[in-house]
Amino acid sequence: MLGLYVHIPFCNQVCPYCDFFKMVASKERKKMFVDALLAEMKLKNLHNYQFDTLYIGGGSPSSLEITMLEKILIRLDEVVNLALLKEFTIEVNPLEITEELIKLFVKYHVSRLSIGVQTLNPRLQKIINRPLTTELLQTKIAIVKKYGIANINLDLLYAIPSETWEEFCEDLEKITSFDVPHLSCYSLILEEHTIFYHQFQKKQLTLIDEKMEAKMYHHLCNFLKTQKFIHYETSNFARKGYESIHNLIYWNCDEYVALGPGASSYLDNYRFKTISNLQSYFEGLKNQTIILEEKIKITNEEKQKEAIMLGLRKCQGLSLTKFFEDFNVSIFEVFPAINQLLEEKLLKIKGDYLFIPNKYFYISNYIINKII
C-alpha cells in the first residue's frame, strides 16, 4: 500500500491545545501556498507512483477558499487519478461545511470526511475555543450524507482541562448518536509551544489527573463496544469495513509520500520532513527546490522498533509471520523482553498476532518501552 498526504497549514482560528504546523493567514498567503504546492507536486513527479489512498489534512483544508481547493484537486486528479483511489479523505472543520464544498468534494471523488468535532459541551467548547451546537452538527452531517458521502469520521477530544466525568459521559453519548461509522477519540495532551502549555506553566490551567484519564479511556472502549464499534487502534473505532485505510498505512509501516510544509514522507528507507516554515517553503519552490528540515535513513534496527511501536497500536496487533518475512529473524530473538511480558500477560498471542490485551491498552507506551 502507498499513501499520499497533503498538508494544508491554515486554520481560521488556532486552538489552544494544538501543536500541528498551522497558522491563520491572509488570502494572498493562501494563494501563494497553492501555487507552491502545485510546484511541489510537479517536482515530486507524482504520476510515477501508484497511490492507494489520499489524505488531505492540516491545519484545516476547509479553511481554503473553494476556488483554491478546486485548483489543488484539479492538479491532483491529473497526476493521481482520484477515481481509482481506494480511499480519499479530507479533514474539515464542521463550521466550514457547505453544500458547495461537499459538491466539490464529490466531483473529485472524496470518499471519506473527517470532521473535527472535539466536544459538544458548551462549557468545554469555551475552554478550547471551538463553538458548535449539536443541532448545527446534525445539519452539517445531513449535508454530507445528502451528497452520498457516508464514510464519516468524527474526532472527539476528552480529558479537556476541568472536564468532569458526567460531561465526558454525556459527550460520548452525544457523539455516538450521529450514526457515523468511524470515531477517533484522543485525550488532550499538553504539548510544548501551545497556549495551554503557557497557561499551565503560569498555573492558570488544571489538567485532568492520570487516574481519571485512564477511567475515561476504559469507559470509552467499553461504551463504544456496546455501540457496535470495533476498537481497531488505540484511539480509533469503526463499524465493520470502515477502518481508515490511509491511517493503517502508517500503522503497518507502509510507505507514504507527503506534500506541504512540515509534512513527513517515508519512502525507500528514508524519512523526509519538509521545512516547517512557510516563507522558506515558498522560497525553495521558487528555485525549484523542496527544502527539507530532516532526512533520515531508517536502519534495520529502527524499522524493527517501528514495527513494534506502530503494530502494537493496532488492537489486532502485529503479524509474527510478516515480521519474520520483513526482517528474516524471529521477533523473540530481537526483543527478548516480549517473553517476560507474555508471562506477565501484558502481551498475548492469538494465531499469528502478538497484541496488547484491551485492558492494558492504556499502558501501551509502558509495554512498548519495555520491549524496545
Helix (H) or strand (E) holding 67: helix 66-80
Q: Provide the minimum distance between the beta carbon of 24 and ligand SF4 in the complex, in angstroms, as a whole number.
A: 9
Encoded amino acid at 62, one letter: S
Q: Provide the minimum distance between the beta carbon of 93 and ligand SF4 in the complex, in angstroms, as a whole number.
A: 6
Beta strands in 298-356 (DSSP E): 318-319, 348-350, 353-355
Helix (H, G, I), strand (E, B) or coil at 336: coil
What does the block give as the cell for 275? 521545512
Helix (H) or strand (E) holding 335: none
Residues of this chain that interact with ligand SF4 (CB under 6 A) are 11, 14-15, 18, 20, 22, 58-60, 93, 116
Q: What is the CA radius of gyration of the chain?
A: 21
Residue nearer to ligand SF4 on the CB measure, 51 or 281 = 281
Alpha helices in 132-226 (DSSP H): 134-146, 165-175, 195-201, 210-226
Place of cell 520483513: 326
Residue nearer to ligand SF4 on the CB measure, 111 or 114 = 114
What single-letter DSSP state applies at residue 156?
A: E
Residue nearer to ligand SF4 on the CB measure, 14 or 291 = 14
Q: How far apart are CA 46 and CA 115, in angstroms?
A: 27
Q: Provide the minimum distance between the beta carbon of 67 and ligand SF4 in the complex, in angstroms, as a whole number.
A: 21
Q: Provide the minimum distance between the beta carbon of 132 and ligand SF4 in the complex, in angstroms, as a whole number.
A: 12
Q: Provide the minimum distance between the beta carbon of 278 and ligand SF4 in the complex, in angstroms, as a whole number.
A: 15
Helix (H, G, I), strand (E, B) or coil at 106: helix
What single-letter DSSP state applies at residue 10?
A: B
Helix (H, G, I), strand (E, B) or coil at 36: helix
Nearest C-alpha neighbor of 110 from the set 179, 54, 51, 38: 54
What does the block give as the cell for 180? 457515523
Q: Provide the minimum distance between the beta carbon of 102 and ligand SF4 in the complex, in angstroms, as a whole number.
A: 19
Residue nearer to ligand SF4 on the CB measure, 250 or 355 = 250
Residue nearer to ligand SF4 on the CB measure, 93 or 304 = 93
Contact status, residue 153 vs residue 112, Cβ threshold 8 Å: yes
Q: Provide the minimum distance between the beta carbon of 101 and ligand SF4 in the complex, in angstroms, as a whole number.
A: 16
Residue nearer to ligand SF4 on the CB measure, 79 or 259 = 259
Residue nearer to ligand SF4 on the CB measure, 128 or 144 = 128
How far the first Cα of the chain sits from its last, in Å, is 26
Residue nearer to ligand SF4 on the CB measure, 278 or 318 = 278
Q: Provide the minimum distance between the beta carbon of 202 and ligand SF4 in the complex, in angstroms, as a whole number.
A: 21
Residue nearer to ligand SF4 on the CB measure, 12 or 138 = 12
Q: How far apart are CA 224 and CA 285, in angstroms?
A: 46
Q: Provide the minimum distance between the beta carbon of 10 and ligand SF4 in the complex, in angstroms, as a whole number.
A: 8
Helix (H, G, I), strand (E, B) or coil at 124: helix
- On the 0-12 / 13-18 / 19+ scale of CB atoms within 10 A, 365 is exposed
Residue nearer to ligand SF4 on the CB measure, 15 or 221 = 15
Nearest C-alpha neighbor of 365 from the set 339, 344, 346, 348: 346
Q: Provide the minimum distance between the beta carbon of 22 and ligand SF4 in the complex, in angstroms, as a whole number.
A: 5
Q: Which residue is nearest to ligand SF4 (CB)?
A: 18
